[in-house]
Structure 1
Amino acid sequence: MSDFQILQTFIKDYNRLVCQEINEIPTLPSLSPNSEYQEFYTLLYEGVNAYKGRRNTENIMFGQLGLGLFALQQGNFIPIHIEQGSTSMVAETIEYFNRFVVAMQKTAEDIRILSEAVRKGDFTVTVGESQWEGNMLNLVEGINRLLAEINLMLSESYTNGVKLSQSADNLKQSTESLSSATTQQAAALDQTVASLEELSEQVQTNTEHTVRMSIIANEAKSAVEEGNVLVKHTVDAVTEINRATEEMHDALKIIDNIASQTNILSLNAAIEATRAGTAGRGFAVVAVEVRKLAARSAEAAKNIRNLSDIAYTKSDEALKISDRMIRGFKTINTKISETATIVGQVALASNEQMLGITQINRAVHELETVTESNSQIAEDTDCVAQEVSVLATQIVEDTSSKKFIS
């Protein structure tokens, strides 16, 4: 094979090597000692050796890059060592890879510190953002925004816990006041019920008394009316007595006249008997007896007249008394009627009072029911207030145990 053919074959193999069709250039015969291509061949051969050295170095770097990517896939951030002065594309790629790994190491360490701080209740730690751009910056910013939201939530939780605690205390005080007021109201209602029961009994007694008074008033009215009738009958009888007394006076006047005439006749008879002498002696005796009889008749008439006058006077007084009795009975009857009317009105008012008291009793019983319900509600509310107070205290204590940006 000529020197030119050797050189030509070497150049072809070199191109195949560069194009990575082959890994090694086959061994070729040496050029003749005095070949005009010796120097060029030597240069080509040195270039091949240099290229092979660089290619081996790049292969090593590719291997390291693959190991680095595999470690990255496994979650480990391991930088790749490259020699100083390497300027190949692979070296530049490894440089970018190392920058990424270092940034990831820094971010991973920040996240580890963050997670450890959060585990201890410290939410003030953040992840560094300066080494990132693009999607990773958005991710880191998202983590920091999440921490900011957690800080805001913790701050609001603390504030709400304090407010809730204060509200729970206020609610507890209010429920205690409500419970005390409800207890006082229940006691007052008990006293009211007792008073209403006593008042109800009194009104019931008054109603019974007014009914009894009404009956008595009606009986008294009937008795007065009956007495009025009897008085009228008495007046009629006394009037008849007066009339009979007046007739007796008239009869006594006649008797007095008869006695006077008889006395005159007896005197005349005695005179005539005296004149007659012995023959008129018997007639004189009769005349004397007749005169005595006339005197006794006049005396009896006088006594009867005196008794009649007394009877007339008494009957007249009885008429006047009866008249006053009639007027008195009328007045009593009027007063009894008025009393009966008033008693009836009192009885009606007592019934209305009894009805009103019954309604008040019903309303008071309803108030007792409402009061008991309010008391139970107050107790339940107090229990809720205590639970809320405990919960608020726990929230405040739990939030206070954490470190956050308020």
Structure 2
Amino acid sequence: MSEKTVKVRRSGKIRNRLLIFIVPIVVLMIVALVMIATTLSKKRLTELSTAHLDSSISNQGDNIESWLEDNLQFFSTAKLAIEGMNPNEEELQKLLDSFYGANKNSPEGLHIGTAAGEFLKPTESTLEMSDPLNSEWYKQGITRVNMQYGTSYTNAEGIKVISASGIVQYGDDSIKVIAADVTLDKISSIVNSGVKMDKAFSYLIDTNDNTILAHREKDMVGATLSTSDSSVLRSGVAQAINDGDYSTRQIGPYYVAFRQIAGTDWVLVSYIAEDTIMATVQELGNYLIIAGLIAVIVIVIILLVVVSRVIAPLAGITRSIHAMSEGDFTIEVKQESNDEIGAMGGRIAEFVESMRHMLSSISEESEKLKQESETSDAVSRDMQDASQSQAEAMQQLNDTVDQLAVAVGDIAQNATTLASVVSSTRENSEKADDSMKETVKISQKGRNDMEKLSHAMDGIQTANSKLVDSINEVGKASEEITNIVSMIGEIAEETNLLSLNASIEAARAGEAGKGFAVVATQIGKLAQTSSESATNISNLIAEVHRLIDEAVGQANASAESIEKNSELIHVAVETFDQIYENIQASNDCIEEMIRDVDKVNDVATNVAAISEEQAASADEILATSQNMVEQAKTISRNSEDVANNSHELANTSETLTSHVQKFKI
């Protein structure tokens, strides 16, 4: 699969995840808004409907009260007119006739009933009353001075009417009641036609006996309400009247408003079905659902466009991170925006540039380290060869000194023999002279060998000093590499901190920030990998530094051993000089002994003493020579260790170079 395909999949995955999280939330929010709007609309429409219902019933009540008041005013005026004229029977009849037909709501006009059982009415009135004292209007009017409406009742003609009645005073002091019957046709018209709301209805109830005075259904007029009525509406209204609670309320599937009619015991009831109100809410809900669906589609399209534009820079950042994870730092990252993604791109660009410079520096320092290690390896091998030569020379010196010791022993034995046998022949003296000459030659040769050994030790000491300087240079280079690696570690820690900060900011962003958390995690992993590589390099360099310190210590120990050996060699040279001088003196003594045989005894004694000293000196020289041989072997082993360490340092340099070459810069 190509890199481009991987990137497209990653970008699509982030977009799809964002949409998976965002779209359901948007849908839920829109659904919640539709539900809230529907609920609020229902509540508001219910409030408006009840308010409208209250307004409608208030208007109906005002019309009924106004109509009743107009009629009552007319009747009161007629009553006052009669009382003011104090008419006789003839005048009273004329007054009653004059008021007949003046009020169309009272077609029978005014009529009067007396305590004597008389019934007075207009001439043209067809109203008949055989027992006015037991009539409803008389019973109601006798209790009132002013004209007032009473309860409804059915008159002799079977018509439902109400009477405005009151005590009238004229003529004598007998009790008289004046009344006027008012039909309920006009009230029914007001009740049935005065409703302002569509599909709302009203009816009028007399609370004295819960009788319906006006209703849109004629067969309901005169019916009595009961709390046990099969109709939920009527039973609920009856209960409200019984409780005296006339507040607007919901009774069953209806919203009901009440209005008491002033001056009467009537209550006007107006109601509207809940379904009528909810039909508008349902229609509004349908509109809101359609609008919500359209909003979801539009928002999803906008989210697709916005998310695609927002995450577009992530494709380049992902490509750059993928290349960096494979060690390619030849990439160039551009900051395409000023938001968090753009800032991330800028930081990655700075990181790539910093890593490019650091890897170049590490590569150069690694090459220098490799060259220094190769130089150290060559020097250590030269030193090993020199120490090997020194060991061989010391072995030869040891053999020479051994021969010298044997010769000195022979001299001591001959000197003792010479001392014990004073009377030895001249032949023996000549042999002694020959032996002394041979000893002089051997001593001279030993002295020359010791001088050569001294010069060789000086050369070894000089080479060892150069080796120490070279190793110190390598140590300094390794310290510079350590500083560079520490810088890499710090940059990796800063990058890891940047990744941590990006993760925190993503977590703060919640679900919308999870895509950025993935990028921050990849950067954190890259920083962790860089930190681990820096740690490995630091460990390797620390190991190199340790080996260099050991090499320096061994070189210094070798220098000290070489210096001590040089001192011992100088002492040996001085000892050989003394031996040479002593042997020369012995030779002179032997020659003098040959010339002066008489002094042989004294010379022999001196030779014996000198021979003993030479024997002791020869033993010391032999011990010193053996010690020098051991020191030379030690120097050889140390030189071999230095060579091995230099080789290991070269391998370490190659390992560091191979690590650096994994990155492309």
Whose RCO is larger (CA < 8 A, sep 6+)? 1
TM-score (norm 2): 0.24
Question: Greater share of helix residues, 1 or 2?
Answer: 1
Question: Greater share of strand residues, 1 or 2?
Answer: 2
Q: Which has the larger radius of gyration?
A: 1
